[in-house]
Amino acid sequence: MSSRPEFEDLYREFLPRIYGYALSQLRNAAEAEDVTAQVFMRAYQAYDRFEPRAATPAAWLFRIARNAVLDHHRRTGVRDRAEQELGRALGEGEDPSRQAEDRVLFRELLVAIRRLPDRQREVIGLRHRSDLGFKEIGELMDCSEDAAKMLYHRALKALRAELDPDG
């Protein structure tokens, strides 16, 4: 039997990352705090069934977090906050002409991302929003590390092809 880290240690180590993930998905601090609390409550309740040989602590916690965020989106009717998230970030620039150009490019990127198959969209989001490695992403998406890498690279290739067809 593999030794498990103490739950308190997992909580301390992963609280900022889980909260950051929830905040990046929800863009509302109060909602992110609520979802983070739900994640750790669910994790605590299921901790006696957590087996480190089956998944890393990060993959296990982020799977719970991902499900909690999806549950929250279902309850609130919100599907995609990425546009709101990046739209706010683009509004913080200094040069208005650069802001306008960035907004156009961002909208093109969003359209291209929305056209990706679901799994490719998901791997892009997990890689860029949760600071997870490919091994953990593979565990979350029920595939191997190599399959997660391949999925990610195919998604990037599809985005490049759509955004720069002459490149």
pTM, rounded to two decimals: 0.59
CA distance 57 to 117: 28
**Structural fold of domain 1-79:** Rna Polymerase Sigma Factor; Chain: A (1.10.1740)
How large is the average pLDDT for residues 90-96?
57
Residue 104 has which token pair? Answer: 């156009």
Residue 145 has which token pair? Answer: 């590390």
DSSP structure class, residue 123: H
Q: What is the pLDDT of residues 21-57, one digit of tens each?
A: 788 777 788 999 999 999 999 999 999 999 888 778 8
94: exposed, middle or buried (Cβ count in 10 Å: 0-12, 13-18, 19+): exposed
- Under the banding of pLDDT at 50, 70 and 90, the label for residue 136 is confident
The reported pLDDT for the residue numbered 7 is: 93
Computed over every residue of the chain, the mean pLDDT equals 81
Q: 1 or 109: which carries more pLDDT confidence?
A: 109
Q: pLDDT at residue 98 above 80?
A: no
C-alpha dist (Å) from residue 13 to 7, 8, 35, 65, 77: 10, 9, 17, 15, 31
